[in-house]
Chains A and B, each alone.
Chain A
Amino acid sequence: MAEDLNWAIGGEAGDGIDSTGKIFAQALSRAGRHVFTSKDFASRIRGGYTAYKIRTAVDDVQSVVDRLDILVALTQRTIDENLDELHEGSAIIYDGERSWEAEIPDEMTAVDVPLKSLAEDAGGAIMRNVVALGAACEITGFDVEYLDESLEKRFGGKGSKIVENNKQAARLGQEYVQENYDLDHLGYDLETTDEDYVLLNGNEAIGMGAIAAGCRFYAGYPITPATSIMEYLTGRIEDYGGHVVQAEDELSAINMALGAARGGARSMTATSGAGIDLMTETFGLVATSETPLVIADVQRSGPSTGMPTKQEQGDLNMALYGGHGEVPRFVVAPTSITECFWKTIEAFNLAEKYQTPVFLVSDLAMSVTEQTFPPEAFDMDEVEIDRGKLVDEDEVDEWLDAQGRFRAHAVTDDGVSPRAIPGATDGAHMSTGLEHDELGRRTEDEDERVQQVDKRNRKVETAKEQESWEYREFGNSDADNLVISWGSNEGALVEALDYLEEDDIDVRVLSVPYIFPRPDLSDEIEAADETIVVECNATGQFADVIEHDVLTRVKRINKYTGVRFKADELAEEITQKLTEEVPA
């Protein structure tokens, strides 16, 4: 698998690790190679280890593996942290002129490059990471010219001189290795193709999906790892007549988003962890006032402040059951970066068609991971907008009572009422978090209460019938072994199939993007000898709801270290689980 290259740069937070990694990732993607990136970072701004990892191949790559081939180490800690992933053939690029003396295991190739002084030769020490990129190109036989475009993209705004200096820095790194080492590209011959790929992460895909879907208002409060959705929208949504507000807190953010939705805008907020807790107060109001709203939860490790920069899928129960009283809702969980885009669009349509809050549940791994895709994966011609029962001036008339009052919460067979927005003549009405009658006016009448509760719940029943709540399937559909997953584990599972195949283990994988409503998996589970549910949490929240649905015990693979699943690791765990007894 010499063509499957695993590269990383690591150092201290603030060392420019992220941007350097991104420059290399973009260069590889420009060269028509697939790229999958991941990040290790601690929750501090300066100091604290951080790394940017790239896996690249000509074939599609969808996950990380436990292997590192080339490591740019700016600190000793970078080497120590990654020791278990380094192997005999690994090369480590470091700067021997720096004050630390790198301790590199004998069997690995140590490539000592004076990063800092070469960078100074090119115009400034700050470019030492780019020198390292040039060196990495030489080691792998990757044409250094591919870096040029990403350098232009990254530094173009700072003037052509800076761009030229950076290009020079890369070349000095490349030449230094060429002249001082006889590595013969360590056997690599990085193939390039004519494909044009785009490289983006899950949060960018959510933001892009939101704009495509007609979202015009976003209110949020910064929190890792949801913030980059707000950062993406800021500066772009304005081009479409929209606006982003950085609210004073999450209570405000969700209420602003609610207000904009009442005004008739497609509106959204996003948060994580503690922010979702704060929003829960208003969640019920969104539902009882029958306001279409998309609430994204980019999960991170909890509870409480937990591990803010680490992966987890621990909020499923919150999304399903959060909020006081009984609240109808939809919970949609994208399983890949492209799905972050498409499911966001779907979330807006569901919210408006059924006038309910929609939880869009993503996770940290997806939000910071970048992946290459053909641009057609985000084909904008395919975007469909369904605004549901939004009634205009003329249609309002059909929904007036005998006194000419608009029945905004009319009890209907499908549970969905007409929706009039400000400006529609005769559509004026009140909505409230209090239990109310058809006109939106407070009531404690027993019959009216039951009618409204049933009406709201009926939306979910209608949606169950009208929408397709499907799963995606991978592997061998006739296999006796069934693996079920939700969220970002899909990529690693798909790649795990290759490893399992090598050991002649046949597996059928179902990746489920809908938490509520969700597909009925009874037949699939019944047909299988073994069922394993894979998720990044300790208690198996998805496994619980599946057991509840099918009344059968399932096996579980749970990871809650704060790190996402890796393909090879998953293959091993699945193999092991298959031989275990089902819990009684």
Chain B
Amino acid sequence: MSSDVRFTDFKSDKQPTWCPGCGDFGTMNGMMKALANTGNDPDNTFVVAGIGCSGKIGTYMHSYALHGVHGRALPVGTGVKMARPDIEVMVAGGDGDGYSIGAGHFVHAVRRNVDMTYVVMDNRIYGLTKGQASPTSRSDFETSTTPEGPKQPPVNPLALALASGASFIAQSFASDALRHQEIVQEAIEHDGFGFVNVFSPCVTFNDVDTYDYFRDTLVDLEEEGHDPTDYEAAKEVILDGEKEFQGVMYKEENSVPYHEQHGVTENMSEIPDGAPDDAMDLVREFY
């Protein structure tokens, strides 16, 4: 099936209930195109989604998929990939899902370098719960739970990834469709944990980090001549703090994914009809 797969094959027949104009539309389209362009098809792809407006993506895409509990999508993806090294695994969720309730899992999935693609739809707000501060909200961003702003600096997810030993770090913008798609594609093709933080504006609850804001400020690293294999250069853009970048920031050239490091090659769904032939050896060990 894979040769004539079109990106629409990854579309389910459920109409998204996202607000008209939500950045998640563009983010999802790019993901589907990237999957199709990299030769995947719905039957060999597993999408794990978190909870939030962003997490609804699992419903609108068509593939093997699990829509889990809040913040735990990465461990699910890890399990799928370990059991099925033959399957393409993509994990998606929001900034709250990934950097707040799931922050612990983020650090560990990154450092394990599990071969999957992690797309975070970063709208710097909690959308589904109707507009509370998220870990990437600006410190003076006024929300229903932070009327005077969170008064604490936002998490820098790229820096968190870098500090955790990431082998691939990128950022894209939902509305720059082609670049977003290219970047996700590169993340899929990366051998290891492909992390993409996507600016995916919430048109309903965030009037600061808007399409216009990103259009006006976004600096494309490719145009800047940034070399993603240069760790020091990556560090510099990631810790910049002044500018907003899109592009692949860092890419480890000799990345070896977790399952290969641990010698996992088999499709674990295949097991014998009874105990393995030499299973009595397991008993004799206790003599």
Q: Are the CB atoms of B79 and A257 closer together than 8 Å? A: yes
B residues in contact (CB < 8 Å) with A: 1, 12-14, 42-46, 48, 58-59, 62-69, 71-72, 74-84, 86-87, 104-105, 107-108, 259, 262-269, 271-276, 279-280, 282-284, 286-287
Which residues of chain B have C-beta atoms less than 8 A from A211's C-beta? Answer: 276, 279, 282
Q: Are the CB atoms of B275 and A212 closer together than 8 Å? A: yes
Going nearest first, the 8 A-B pairs with the smallest beta carbon separation are A259-B79, A264-B269, A263-B83, A214-B271, A255-B75, A265-B268, A432-B67, A198-B286
Q: Are the CB atoms of A433 and B68 closer together than 8 Å? A: yes
Which residues of chain A have C-beta atoms less than 8 A from B84's C-beta? Answer: 263-265, 422-423
Q: Separation in Å of the B271 CB from the closest CB of chain A? A: 3
Q: Are the CB atoms of A266 and B271 closer together than 8 Å? A: yes
Which residues of chain B have C-beta atoms less than 8 A from A384's C-beta? Answer: 274
Flag whether A281 is at the interface (Cβ < 8 A). Answer: yes
Q: Separation in Å of the A247 CB from the closest CB of chain B? A: 7
Q: Are the CB atoms of A255 and B68 closer together than 8 Å? A: yes
Q: Separation in Å of the A374 CB from the closest CB of chain B? A: 10
Q: Separation in Å of the B76 CB from the closest CB of chain A? A: 4
Flag whether A137 is at the interface (Cβ < 8 A). Answer: no
Majority DSSP secondary structure for residues of A touching B: mixed
Q: Give per-residue flags for A278-293: 1 if the beta carbon is below 8 A from chain B beta carbons, else 0.
A: 0001100100010000
Closest to B44 in A: A423
Q: Are the CB atoms of A216 and B83 closer together than 8 Å? A: yes
Q: Are the CB atoms of B79 and A217 closer together than 8 Å? A: yes
Q: Separation in Å of the B98 CB from the closest CB of chain A? A: 14
Listed A/B pairs (27) with beta-carbon separation below 8 Å: A29-B287, A211-B282, A212-B275, A217-B79, A217-B83, A219-B79, A240-B276, A241-B265, A245-B82, A259-B76, A259-B78, A260-B82, A262-B80, A265-B84, A282-B68, A282-B72, A380-B280, A380-B282, A381-B275, A385-B271, A405-B13, A422-B44, A422-B45, A422-B64, A427-B43, A432-B59, A441-B12
Which residues of chain A have C-beta atoms less than 8 A from B63's C-beta? Answer: 428
Which residues of chain A have C-beta atoms less than 8 A from B65's C-beta? Answer: 428-431
Which residues of chain A have C-beta atoms less than 8 A from B44's C-beta? Answer: 422-423
Which residues of chain A have C-beta atoms less than 8 A from B14's C-beta? Answer: 441
Flag whether A248 is at the interface (Cβ < 8 A). Answer: yes
Give bound CA distance, A59 to B1, whole Å: 65
Q: Are the CB atoms of B274 and A421 closer together than 8 Å? A: no
Q: Separation in Å of the B180 CB from the closest CB of chain A? A: 23
17 additional contacts (CB under 8 A) given A258-B68, A259-B82, A381-B274: A198-B287, A216-B268, A216-B271, A217-B82, A243-B259, A247-B108, A256-B78, A259-B48, A259-B78, A262-B79, A375-B287, A422-B45, A428-B42, A429-B65, A430-B64, A430-B67, A434-B67
Of A30, A258, A375, which one neighbours B76 at CB under 8 angstroms?
A258
Closest to A387 in B: B271
Closest to A266 in B: B271
Q: Separation in Å of the B130 CB from the closest CB of chain A? A: 18
Flag whether A196 is at the interface (Cβ < 8 A). Answer: yes
Give bound CA distance, A380 to B285, whole Å: 14
